[in-house]
Amino acid sequence: MNFREKQQYQEHYELVEKHIEKYFKEANVRVFHEIPTLDIHLDVYHIQSNNLQFDVLLTSGMSSIEMNVDEILEDSVSYKFAELMVLIPKGIDFGDIYPSKTKNDWIISMIKQSAKFPHFYDTWIGMGHTLQADEGMIPYSVDTEYCGCIVLPTVTLPEEFGTINSPNGVINIYGLFPMYKEELNYKIKNGFDSFMDLLIKNNGREVIDFNRKNFCQETPKKGFSRFFKFRK
């Protein structure tokens, strides 16, 4: 696909930056810039806020090209732009640049690969969609067993953080929740609502847990999760 033939919304890069400045005024913010490429220039912000118990990775550039939302029959204009984020534990080392060959590179790889996917395949992604690291569900790297992710709304950050208003249409900010192979298969077979029920029963949390148990390898516990209790 020739991305140069696509309409470019360069102003969205500045809107993302202003959005970060609005919500994280006191944060230490680093940017992992895209290595020069012929496709989409996709940067990743690493937001380290003293007011949060976690850090945030947020893309900038996914919304520089609109997604193909032709299959959405109603209000499709509301879904054509998006950026992605991942909540991570504090203290994660990514090195000075990406890729840095640290054991945590796979997290940035996951978010960048997911953000470029709809543009490479002329489609769209939104809440409830799942993405695989590889067609064979091979993990993102040797440093993790996660081999895919699901797109979810954030319920940890303020609801208003989840959208950016632009003259071209709303930019949605979605979260990514990494998944094991068995969880991906479960969601594909049983649907989004059933997988959300699984998260609730297991007290799933939005912040990446490197040692999280596989929710589909044993009977889910009974319980209640304030984290995923709404927006199913």
Domain chopping of the chain, boundaries: 3-202
**Coil, strand or helix: which one is 198?**
helix
Q: Which helix (H) or strand (E) holds 105?
A: helix 105-120
Q: What is the pLDDT of residues 160-202, one digit of tens each?
A: 999 999 999 999 999 999 999 999 999 999 999 999 999 999 9
Q: Which helix (H) or strand (E) holds 56?
A: strand 54-60
What are the CA-CA distances from residue 225 to residues 44, 188, 200, 206, 209 (Å)? 29, 22, 5, 11, 16
Query: What predicted TM-score, i.e. pTM, was given to this entire model?
Result: 0.90
With a cut of 50, say whether residue 220 has pLDDT above it. Answer: no
Q: Beta strand 43-48 with 54-60: parallel, antiparallel or unpaired?
A: antiparallel
